[in-house]
Amino acid sequence: MAVSHPAGADRTITGLRVEVTSVALKAPFVTSVRRADAAQIVVVEARDAAGRVGMGEAAVSWRVTGESAESVTAAVAGPLSDVVVGRAPDDRALPEDIAVALWGNASARSAVECAVADLRAAQTGSAVWQLLGARSPSLRTDRTLSAASPRELAEAAVGHCEEGFGVLKIKVRASDDAVAGVREVRAAVGDGVRLRIDANQAWRPDEAVRIIREMERAGVDLEFVEQPVAADDLPGLAAVAAAVETPVMADESVRTAADVRAIAERTSVSLVNLKLAKAGGLTAAERAAEVARDHGIGVIVGCMLEGPVGITAAAGLAAAVAPEVVHDLDGAHWLVDPLLTDRTAAFSADTILLPSAPGDR
CA proximity to 111, closest of 323, 331, 312: 312
Q: How far apart are CA 332 and CA 336, in angstroms?
A: 9
Q: Whole-angstrom Cα distance, residue 173 to residue 100?
A: 36
Q: Diameter of the chain by CA atoms?
A: 65
Q: CB–CB of 341/353 below 8 Å?
A: no
The 3 state secondary structure assigned to 106-130 is HHHHHHHHHHHHHHHHHHHCCCHHH
In the chain, what is the straight-line distance between the N-terminal and C-terminal CA atoms, in Å? 9
Name the catalytic one among 26, 169, 171, 278.
171
Active site annotation includes 171 = yes
Phi, psi of 37 (to 5 degrees): -110, -10
Interatomic CA distance for residues 40 and 49, integer angstroms: 29
Sheet containing 138-141: give its strands across.
326-327, 138-141, 351-353, 346-348
Contact assessment for residue 64 and residue 304, using Cβ atoms and an 8 Å cutoff: yes
Counting Cβ atoms within 10 Å, is residue 59 exposed (0-12), middle (13-18) or buried (19+)?
Answer: buried
Q: Which of 26, 169, 275, 278 is catalytic?
A: 275
Catalytic site residue 278?
no
Cα(139)–Cα(129) distance, integer angstroms: 12
Q: How far is CA 154 from the centre of its chain?
A: 25
| Among 141, 226, 156, CA closest to 189 | 156
The residues that are catalytic are 171, 275
